[in-house]
C-alpha cells in the first residue's frame, strides 16, 4: 500500500541549511517544495544535485519562485502546497551586511516571518501545518550570562538580530494566540563546506587553501577575539526536523557547548596545510605570519606574512562571546552532535583545497575568466 508522503515547504532552500535540510527530508521520504528567489545569475548551486526535471512524474523536489517580502506570493504558495511542515529559513543572514541594509533586513527577516505565520492562519491551516522558525544565538548578543539557554535574556546587537527578535516573538505569539504548532530553533553558528563564502569560517578555509596553493597572498580579517560556538550544519538540520516531531511546540537552544576564538579557527585551518602561524602584536596592528611549514607541498611559503587585521571588518556593535547550553534538546529530544570542530575544519579545508586545486589547474593551463564584453 502506498504511504502518503509528508509535504515540507522550505523557504531559503538555496542556502546552506536549505540544501542540507532538503537532502535530509528527501531521504526521509518527504515531498520537498522550496522557495527560491529570482536572480539574474543562477543561485541553485547547492541544490543542483537534487534537481528533478519538471516533466518527470511524481517529482519529490519542486522549486517555486518567491520572496519573503511578498505576502501574495507566500500565501498563494502555502495554499497550493498545503504543507505539513514549513521550515522558514529564508533571511538576509549576514550580520555585518544588516548594518548596511537595516530596513530590508527587518522586512525580510522580521516581517517575512509574520507573513508565513499569518498565511497559515488565514488559510485555516493552523491545526495542520507545523512551522519551524530559524532563530539565532545572535538574539543573546551582549553577554548576559554564559552558557546561554532558552531562559537567557535577549540583547540583540545588530539590525539582523533585532529583526530576528521580532521573528522569535511573533512565532511565540502566534503559537499562544492561535494554538499553532510553531517553534523557534535558537541555533548557534553552524558551518560546512557549503557555508557562504563571506562568513568567517568559510572565508578562512577558502583563503587558507588559496594561500597554500599560491593563488592569494594574504587573508584580511576583522575581530580575531570574538568567540563562537561552532557546529556542523548537518547536525543542526537534523535538529530542525526533530523539533517539529516533538509532542508539544517549544523553543530550543541548539549548540555544541564549546566556544572557540576566531583566531584559533585560523590557526586550525592553516595547520591543516602544514602551516604553523605565529601571531604577533595586538588588536588592529596584529599580524600573523608563517613561522614554519611542515608540508613539503607548501614549503614555498615559509616566512611569508599571510594574515592581517583590517578595521573595515569590525562591526559597529559586536557579539563577543557565544556559548550555548543545549541540555533541553539533548534530554527531551535525544539530540547529539556527530561532528566536533576539528572534524568540521578538516572537512571544510579538504573541500576548499579540492575547489582551489581546480582553479589552480585552470590557471596553469592558461585559462582566463571570460569577459562578456571581449
Ligand atoms: P544562507 O545565507 O546560506 O541562506 C539564506 C537563504 O535565504 C538563501 O536561500 C537566500 O536566497 C534566502 N533569502 C534571503 N533573502 C530572501 C528573501 N527576501 N526572500 C526569499 N529568500 C531569501 O543562510 P543559512 O542557510 O546559513 O541560514 C538559514 C537560516 O538560519 C537563516 O534564517 C539564518 O539567519 C538562520 N541561522 C543561521 C545560522 C548559521 O550559523 N548558519 C545560525 C542561526 C540561525 P539566495 O540563495 O538567493 O541568497
Ligand atoms: P556571525 O557569523 O556574525 O556569528 O553570524 P560570521 O561568520 O559572519 O562572524 C563570526 C565572527 O567572526 C568575526 N569576524 C569576521 N566575520 C566575517 N564575516 N568576516 C571577517 O572578515 C571577520 N573577521 C572577524 C565577526 O566579527 C564575528 O564576531 C552567523 C550567521 O550565520 C547568522 O545568520 C547566524 O544567525 C549566526 O551566525 C548565529
Asked whether residue 146 falls in the same domain as residue 110, the answer is yes
Q: In terms of domains, do 159 and 294 share one?
A: no
Output the CA–CA distances (angstroms, integers) from residue 344 to 206, 234, 327, 330, 348, in the order listed: 14, 10, 22, 21, 6
Q: pTM of the full predicted structure?
A: 0.96
- Contact partners, residue 138, CB within 8 Å, separation at least 6: 95, 156, 157, 158, 160, 161, 164, 319
Residue 182 β-bridge partners? 131
Domain identity same for 62 and 147: yes
Q: In angstroms, how far is CA 216 from the centroid of its own chain?
A: 25
Question: Which residue owns the Cα nearest ligand 1 atom 5?
Answer: 15
Starting from the CA of residue 322, give the closest ligand: 2
C-alpha cell at 155: 540583547
Condensed to tens digits (0 to 9), the pLDDT of residues 58-80 reads 999 999 999 999 999 999 999 99
Domain extent at residue 108:
7-187
Q: Is the CB of 221 under 6 A from ligand 2?
A: yes
Q: Does residue 238 fall inside a structural domain?
A: no
Estimate to the nearest angstrom the gap between the alpha carbon of 265 and the chain centroid.
17
Pairing of strands 85-88, 130-136: parallel
pLDDT in tens, 151-182: 999 999 999 999 999 999 999 999 999 999 99
Q: What are phi and psi of 207, to 5 degrees?
A: -70, -40
222 and 76 co-located in one domain: no
The verdict on whether 372 is a catalytic residue reads: no
Same domain, yes or no, for 121 and 217? no
Domain shared by 211 and 288, yes or no: yes
Active site residue 138: yes
* DSSP H or E stretch at residue 9: strand 7-11
Q: Answer whether residue 253 is part of any domain.
A: no
Our CA dihedral for 337, 185, 248, 234, rounded to 10 degrees, sits at -40
User: What grid cell was written down for 58?
Assistant: 511524481
Cβ < 6 Å from ligand 1: which residues? Answer: 11-12, 14-18, 37, 39, 43, 67-69, 89-93, 108, 134, 136, 187, 189-190, 196
What's the 51 CA to ligand 2 centre distance in angstroms? 30
Last residue of a domain, one of 135, 166, 187: 187
Looking at the CA of residue 14, tell me the nearest atom of ligand 1: 9
Catalytic residue from among 23, 85, 138, 191: 138
Same domain assignment for residues 165 and 284: no
Residue 17, in any domain of the structure: yes
Domain annotation covers residue 89: yes
- Whether residues 162 and 266 share a domain: the answer is no
- Give the rounded distance of the alpha carbon of 321 from its chain centre: 18
271 or 302: which carries more pLDDT confidence? 271
Domain membership of residue 246 (yes or no) is: no
Whether 178 and 37 share a structural domain: yes
CATH classification of the domain holding 271:
3.90.25.10
What distance in angstroms lies between residue 89's CA and the mean position of ligand 1's atoms?
6
Q: How far is the CA of 294 from the centre of ligand 2 (A)?
A: 30
Q: Are residues 206 and 177 in the same domain?
A: no
- Ligand index nearest the alpha carbon of residue 89: 1
The pLDDT value given to residue 191:
98
The verdict on residue 373 lying in a domain is no
Which of these, 32, 40, 30, lies nearest to 12 by C-alpha position?
A: 32
Q: Hey, whose CA ends up nearest to atom 40 of ligand 1?
A: 189
Whether 136 is catalytic is: yes
Distance separating alpha carbons of residues 173 and 46, to the nearest angstrom = 33
Q: Name the strand (E) or helix (H) holding 235.
A: helix 233-245
User: Which ligand places an atom closest to the C-alpha of 266?
Assistant: 2
Domain boundary among the residues 159, 187, 215 is at 187
Is pLDDT above 60 for 284?
no
∠ at Cα 215 (211, 219), nearest 5°? 40
Q: Note if the bond before 359 is cis, omega within 30 degrees.
A: no
Domain membership of residue 20 (yes or no) is yes
Expressed in angstroms, the distance from the first to the final Cα of the chain is 60
- Provide the 10 A C-beta neighbour count for residue 365: 7
- Greatest alpha-carbon pair distance for the chain in Å reads 69
Structure confidence at residue 108 (pLDDT): 98
Confidence band for 296, pLDDT divided at 50, 70 and 90: confident
CA–CA gap between residue 210 and residue 356 (Å, rounded): 6
Please tell me the number of Cα atoms within 13 Å of 360 on its side-chain side.
Answer: 14
156 and 208 inside one domain: no
Based on the fold, state whether residues 95 and 156 are members of the same structural domain: yes
Q: 96: domain CATH number?
A: 3.40.50.720
Using alpha carbons only, how large is the chain's radius of gyration in Å?
A: 22
- Shortest-distance Cα residue to atom 32 of ligand 2: 93
Of 163, 187, 211, the domain-final residue: 187
CA dist 164 and 156 (Å) reads 9
Q: Which helix (H) or strand (E) holds 348?
A: helix 341-364
From the CB of 11, is ligand 2 less than 6 Å away? no
The answer as to whether 239 is a domain residue is: no
Count of domains in the chain?
Answer: 2
Instruction: Please state, as a whole number, how many other Cβ atoms lie within 10 Å of the Cβ of residue 328.
Output: 17
Per residue in 244-271, pLDDT tens? Answer: 999 999 999 999 999 999 999 999 999 9
- 10 Cα–ligand 1 center, Å: 11
- Pocket residue to mutate for ligand 2, from 90, 189, 345, most atoms within 8 A of Cβ: 189
Listed in sequence order, the residues at least 6 apart from 328 whose beta carbon sits closer than 8 Å to its beta carbon are: 149, 150, 252, 253
If you average pLDDT over every residue of the chain, what do you get? 94
* pLDDT value at 53 more than 60: yes
Amino acid at each position: 500500500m502506498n504511504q502518503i508522503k509528508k509535504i515540507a515547504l522550505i523557504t531559503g532552500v538555496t542556502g546552506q541549511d536549505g540544501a542540507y535540510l532538503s537532502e535530509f527530508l528527501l531521504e526521509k521520504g518527504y515531498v520537498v517544495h522550496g522557495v527560491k528567489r529570482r536572480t539574474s545569475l543562477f543561485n541553485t548551486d547547492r541544490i543542483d544535485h537534487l534537481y528533478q526535471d519538471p516533466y518527470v512524474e511524481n517529482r519529490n523536489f519542486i522549486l517555486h519562485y518567491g520572496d519573503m517580502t511578498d505576502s501574495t506570493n507566500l500565501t498563494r504558495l502555502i495554499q497550493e502546497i498545503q504543507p505539513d511542515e514549513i521550515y522558514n529559513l529564508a533571511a538576509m543572514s549576514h550580520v555585518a551586511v544588516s548594518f548596511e541594509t537595516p530596513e530590508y533586513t527587518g522586512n525580510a527577516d522580521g516581517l517575512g516571518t509574520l507573513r508565513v505565520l499569518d498565511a497559515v492562519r488565514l488559510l485555516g491551516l493552523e491545526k495542520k501545518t507545523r512551522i519551524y522558525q530559524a532563530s539565532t544565538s545572535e538574539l543573546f548578543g551582549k553577554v548576559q550570562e554564559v552558557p546561554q539557554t532558552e531562559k537567557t535574556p535577549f540583547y540583540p546587537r545588530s539590525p539582523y538580530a533585532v529583526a530576528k527578535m521580532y521573528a522569535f516573538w511573533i512565532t511565540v505569539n502566534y503559537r499562544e494566540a492561535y494554538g499553532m504548532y510553531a517553534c523557534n530553533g535558537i541555533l548557534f553558528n553552524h558551518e560546512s563546506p557549503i557555508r557562504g563564502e563571506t562568513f568567517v569560517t568559510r572565508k578562512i578555509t577558502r583563503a587558507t587553501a588559496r594561500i597554500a596553493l599560491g593563488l592569494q597572498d594574504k587573508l584580511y580579517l576583522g575581530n580575531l577575539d570574538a568567540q563562537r560556538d561552532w557546529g556542523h550544519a548537518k547536525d543542526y538540520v537534523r535538529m530542525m526536523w526533530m523539533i517539529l516531531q516533538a509532542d508539544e511546540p517549544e523553543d530550543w537552544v541548539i549548540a555544541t557547548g564549546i566556544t572557540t576564538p576566531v583566531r584559533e579557527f585560523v590557526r586550525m585551518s592553516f595547520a591543516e596545510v602544514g602551516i604553523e602561524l605565529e601571531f604577533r602584536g595586538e588588536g588592529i596592528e596584529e599580524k600573523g605570519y608563517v613561522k614554519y611549514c611542515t608540508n613539503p607541498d607548501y614549503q614555498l611559503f615559509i616566512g611569508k606574512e599571510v594574515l592581517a587585521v583590517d578595521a573595515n571588518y569590525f562591526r559597529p556593535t559586536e557579539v563577543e562571546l557565544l556559548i550555548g547550553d543545549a541540555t533541553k534538546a539533548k534530554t527531551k529530544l535525544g539530540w547529539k552532535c556527530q561532528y566536533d570542530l576539528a572534524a568540521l575544519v578538516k572537512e571544510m579545508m579538504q573541500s576548499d583545497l579540492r575547489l582551489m586545486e581546480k582553479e589552480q589547474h585552470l590557471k596553469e593551463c592558461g585559462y582566463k575568466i571570460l569577459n562578456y564584453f571581449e
